[in-house]
Amino acid sequence: MDSEALGHYVLPAMEELPRRIPKLIAAVLCTPDGFNICSLGVDEKQVGKLAALSGSLLAVGDATLGELNPGGGAHSMDLLTLKAGGFQVLGVKVQKPGGHLILMGAATDTTLGVMIVGMQHVAAAIEKRFNPAAAG
């Protein structure tokens, strides 16, 4: 499946984000190496840069986790948050066969709990699209 087809395939799940996070500004679903799959609220000039940054943020989180917990085994970053005043960014891993994707979302004046629950719900919906047999 090419990236455009993949983007259309996950779009129905991504469109749940503004309903789950009413003050959502933008969201990007990308590969760990920063290739955009699907985005909401992001213009053409931003999408490539935001996809690359999303992949980098979780990679930096993984490296930090490895330094702070060197004996922690193969654990990697599942969720990362950034907060600046009333602006929040949250990134979560979306598991798929053979690896994972990264879902990054940004919102204003939204509690961390609402962000986490909304983003994890959509991540789970995307995961089910990749593995419908496990949705049972």
pLDDT digits (tens, 9 = 90+) for 38-81: 999 999 889 889 988 888 888 888 888 888 877 766 667 789 99
Q: State the pLDDT confidence band at 125, using cuts at 50, 70 and 90.
A: very high
Q: Yes or no: say if 110 and 81 are a contact pair by the CB < 8 Å rule.
A: no
Q: Yes or no: say if 133 and 124 are a contact pair by the CB < 8 Å rule.
A: no
Q: Return the number of other C-beta atoms located less than 10 Å from residue 78's C-beta.
A: 15
Give the span between the Cα atoms of 134 and 122, in whole angstroms: 16
Residue scoring higher pLDDT (88 or 58): 88
Q: Which of 84, 25, 28 is nearest to 52 (CA)?
A: 28
Global pTM value: 0.89
| Owner of token pair 């699907």 | 38
Average pLDDT, the chain: 88
Residue 124 vs residues 16, 95, 98, 133: alpha-carbon distances, Å = 11, 8, 16, 14
Give the pLDDT confidence score for residue 67 in this predicted structure. 84
Task: Provide the edge-to-edge strand list for the sheet that holds 79-84.
Answer: 36-40, 24-30, 99-108, 87-96, 79-84
* Mean pLDDT (whole number) for 2-28: 91
In sequence order, the 6+-apart residues with CB closer than 8 A to the CB of 124 are: none
